[in-house]
Amino acid sequence: MNANKFIAISVIAGVLPAFAMLEDDEALAAARDVLGKMTLEEKTMLLAGSGTMTLPAVPRVGIDAEWTMSDNSSTVRSSLDRWSWKYVEPMSENTKLPSLSALAQTWDVEWARKHGEVLGAECRDRGVDQLLGPGVNIMRTPLCGRNWEYLGEDPVLAAKMCVPMIRGVQSFDVAATVKHFCLNDQELSRGLVDTHADERTFNEIYLPAFRAAVKEAGVLCVMSSYNKVDGIYASENKYTQTGILRDRWGFKGLLVTDWGGQHSTAFAANNGGGIEMHRGDSIRHLYAPKANRFPLAEAVRRSEVPSATLDDMALRTLFVMAKTGFLTKAPRRAGSRNTAEHQQIARKEGAESIVLIKNAKGLLPLNPAELRKVLVIGLNADEKQCHKGCSAEGSVPYEVTLFAALTNRLPHAEVSLMPFCAKVEYAETDTSNAVEAGGHVVQKQGEKWCDEAELLAAARLADTVIVFTGTEMGFQENMESEGRDRVEFDLPAPLQKAMHTILGWGLERVVVVSRSGSPVGYTWTDKADTLLQTSYLGMEEGNSIVDVLFGDVNPCGKLAQTWPRRYADTAVACCGTYNATNVTYNERFYTGYRWHDRQNIAPLFPFGHGLSYTSWKYGNAKVSAAPGGWKISIDITNTGKTAGKEVVQLYAAYPDAKVERCVKELKAFAKVQLEPGQTKTVELALTPRDLAYWDSFLHRFRADAGEYELLIGSSSADIRARSRIAMHDDEIFAD
């Protein structure tokens, strides 16, 4: 069986009917039946929280329990107090999986499905009905503090990864929530900023993942974003919420504001609004639970909102409740939490996301039998991260840091940890945004540091030095978190200098491990012979990294983000706006590698890049007709001595383009596993819809007749095979 067929079968397995999940018509009938029994006030109660993470019970009509929500995309957050952001003690514990930025780097739809299934199972075990994830916003700027919670820079990659994840969550009768809809691509002033994108950019870059979530995955919930879109808050924007989401895509489920994202009563309801959420005592626009007031019901009585609008809003909530079995009291699929299986999934997923950037001297994988004295430089190698990140905070039964994992793996070696020879101070930071987002923030004043001579002496005594650099979670300067963007693209100057110093010592065995959820400005990579890049990997982070360092897992991650050499090389810096008030996406559809291709700017590391401990040979591409499009086949051979996995990437170019097109764009990918010397045929599907662009005159996607070049490679910058196809007629698509 070839790899592509295996993936297809796995994804299909992930969408088998859930235990209680009703068909749409059955769920709608059940919802209508309950709606017909409800008073005006009871309908209103379904449209606002009864607490920070709950919707009210309505026992009179058979809704005997509160509907419960929980953050986030990589864990199930501990239960929150009804009226505040405080946690309920004792805090509940859950498995924390790798971040979505790490999941994207697996380029593996099977891991996306497993990721979703773990979250669905742990929600069910906790009694959670709605998971507030996944996040699918596109990385427009590397400064966005929340990039680590999203699926990278490319709309095709984000769309193809979010679909199996959503199906995995919902296979456990839990409603997934795709977020944040829409154009929420910075945390800077996210609650006030007005964003603008032209129609083509909007449809080609920033909507595809949301569209796939709705039309392919059948996501049950959508969360609106904080920002304004063309002058109107996303939570009350009729064009996006009704025109696109419901009318164009046919979304049947419930729409929920981000917490504190509601700004009006009648205006929001009349413009496609949904459920209002905030910390419990701040909910007030639609239904104020603490005061037992019903502003939306009052607006209906004053004829400011049609009663049919209220009915439609309430019906959508009941529909989702019915779909999951909550409303009908059907026996829902049983869950589980903190199991050995879930912990192993966290570990393996994390390992498969790690990207081998450089291995110039073949130092990796390390042989543990050869190691007697290992020095780890960088105290973040033993700084736990799972409890950080605002709404993405996790409470875990344990967390394995890199230093702890190395110590466990090398019981007969001396493993020591030292700080950088760099003094880094952290200024006091306004954390009000973090608190408003439900974050629990600890300010750092500075980091421990050591004398250069002391560090050099220790490094010379070690047979291997592992340098751990990058970012950490938090709410200061260059840390990554919800509610704040990074202040600078570059690694702080003292740490840059320290990296140059350490790599300039001429030591023979130095491995650099860089951890971040976004590209970071590094000036020293030409001096690093060995470099691994990892994102935030959750509770098993250290074990995942060690598994790759020692070759238990052959690295097979690929970058989901282009790493620029300088911030000045990014599209946003060159021609876009990035500010706290009014942001126009002037770079248009040239995001990430698209921009670098257009401007002929060499990145530090290209999109899709990732090396292996083995080597790959690509054969010639073969194209054949297939139902609805084409099948592209290519033989991949493992020419090395180690079993491994390769991500085969298909890009399209447009030699006959009649309109402005990108130099190339990702269209499909597949991950193939091969033993040494083994060859497999990878098959990739392509349709005319995949080749289409948004026609702003017709307000439709269209693919023009003409030739298209197909580029197959190991990254966006490493194309191994080419072929061509022809379309004989123009095609226009309804959506």
Tell me the HSE value of 399 on the side-chain side, using a 13 A CA sphere: 21
Cis bond before residue 98 (omega within 30° of 0): no
**Bridge partners, 425 (sequence order):** 446
Please provide the distance, in angstroms rounded to a whole number, between the alpha carbons at the two ends of the chain: 34
pLDDT digits (tens, 9 = 90+) for 562-575: 999 999 999 999 99
pLDDT confidence of residue 11 = 32
Amino acid at 520: V
The verdict on pTM exceeding 0.85 is yes
Q: At what angle do helices 109-126 and 155-170 cross, to 10 degrees?
A: 40
Rounded Cα–Cα distance for residues 113 and 106 (Å): 12
Cis bond before residue 180 (omega within 30° of 0): yes
pLDDT digits (tens, 9 = 90+) for 11-68: 333 344 456 789 999 999 999 999 999 999 999 999 999 999 999 999 999 999 999 9
pLDDT digits (tens, 9 = 90+) for 584-600: 999 999 999 999 999 99
Q: Say if residues 391 and 437 touch (Cβ distance below 8 Å).
A: yes
Q: What is the mean pLDDT of the chain?
A: 95
Burial (CB < 10 A; 0-12, 13-18, 19+), residue 45, is buried
23-323 shares its CATH topology with 354-561: no
Rounded Cα–Cα distance for residues 122 and 103 (Å): 18
**What's the average model confidence in pLDDT over 66-84?**
95
pLDDT score of 4 more than 70: no
pLDDT score of 128 more than 90: yes
pLDDT confidence of residue 446 = 86
Amino acid at 383: E
Rounded Cα–Cα distance for residues 205 and 732 (Å): 19
- Run of H or E residues at 695: strand 693-695
Share of the chain above pLDDT 70, in %: 97
Using CA atoms of 125, 166, 716, 593 in order, give the dihedral in degrees to the nearest 10.
-100
pLDDT confidence of residue 213 = 98
C-alpha distance from residue 618 to each of 591, 622, 624, 637 (Å): 28, 12, 18, 7
pLDDT confidence of residue 19 = 66
Amino acid at 547: D
Residue 9 neighbours by CB under 8 Å, 6+ apart: none
What phi, psi does 719 have (nearest 5°)?
A: -90, 125
pLDDT confidence of residue 668 = 98
pLDDT confidence of residue 478 = 86
Q: Say if residues 287 and 268 touch (Cβ distance below 8 Å).
A: no
pLDDT digits (tens, 9 = 90+) for 507-529: 999 999 999 999 999 999 999 99
What CATH number should be reported for the domain whose range is 616-733? 2.60.40.10
**Bridge partners, 359 (sequence order):** 530
Residue 303 neighbours by CB under 8 Å, 6+ apart: none
**What's the average model confidence in pLDDT over 295-322?**
98
Sequence-ordered alpha helix ranges (H) in 524-647: 541-549, 571-574, 593-599
- Domain 354-561: CATH superfamily is Glycoside hydrolase family 3 C-terminal domain (3.40.50.1700)
pLDDT digits (tens, 9 = 90+) for 389-441: 988 999 999 999 999 999 999 999 999 999 999 999 888 888 887 787 788 87
For the chain, the structural domain boundaries read 23-323, 354-561, 562-607, 616-733
The token pair that represents 687 in the structure block: 């349709």
**Helices and strands in the chain, H and E counts:** 20, 27
pLDDT digits (tens, 9 = 90+) for 445-501: 888 999 999 999 999 999 999 999 999 999 888 899 999 999 999 999 999 999 999
Sequence-ordered alpha helix ranges (H) in 619-709: none
Fold classification of 23-323 (topology level): TIM Barrel (3.20.20)
- Run of H or E residues at 43: helix 40-45
Q: Is 258 a catalytic residue?
A: yes
Of 560, 677, 534, 533, nearest to 614 by C-alpha is: 677
**What's the average model confidence in pLDDT over 66-81?**
96
**Bridge partners, 605 (sequence order):** 563
What phi, psi does 490 have (nearest 5°)?
A: -75, 150
**What's the average model confidence in pLDDT over 699-714?**
98
pLDDT score of 7 more than 60: no
Query: Of the listed 71, 125, 129, 258, which one is catalytic?
Result: 258
- Run of H or E residues at 140: none
Rounded Cα–Cα distance for residues 574 and 97 (Å): 36
